[in-house]
Structure 1
Amino acid sequence: MDPLQQLPQTLTTALAAKALNRKPQTLRSWACFENGPLRPIRINGRLAWPVADIAALLKGDRA
C-alpha cells in the first residue's frame, strides 16, 4: 500500500489550529465569515480542513 494513501486528506479544526498555531475558534470564525486564508469543507456537518491547503499556507504559497 502506498504510504501517502494512509495520510489524512483533511484535519479536524483542533488539529488544523494546532498546525497553524491558532486557536480553534479562529478557524471557526474563518469558516463562518469566509474571511480567512483557508476554506474548510463540511463532512457530515463538521468542518474539515484540507491538508494540502494547510501545507501551502505554511509554505507561503497562499496569503
Structure 2
Amino acid sequence: MEVEDARDDLERAMLHLPPGARRDLGRLITRIDEEFERRTLPEPNNIELAMFGWWWTRMRER
C-alpha cells in the first residue's frame, strides 16, 4: 500500500466517525500531514491529482 492510498483511507474514515472521534483523529492526521509535507516536495506534474487530495501532488524523498 502506498502512503497516498493510506491517507485516502484516513480521509474516508473521518467521514464515518462521530464528532469527538473525528476531532481526535483529525489532530493525529494533522501531525502526520505536517511530517509528510516536510519530507516531500511539490510535484508539479501531478497537479491534476489534487482533486483526490493534496498528498497526491507530493514527490517523496528517495
TM-score in terms of structure 1 length? 0.23
Structure in which a larger fraction of residues adopt strand: 1
Instruction: Report which of the two structures shows the higher radius of gyration computed on alpha carbons.
Output: 2
TM-score in terms of structure 2 length? 0.23
Structure in which a larger fraction of residues adopt helix: 2
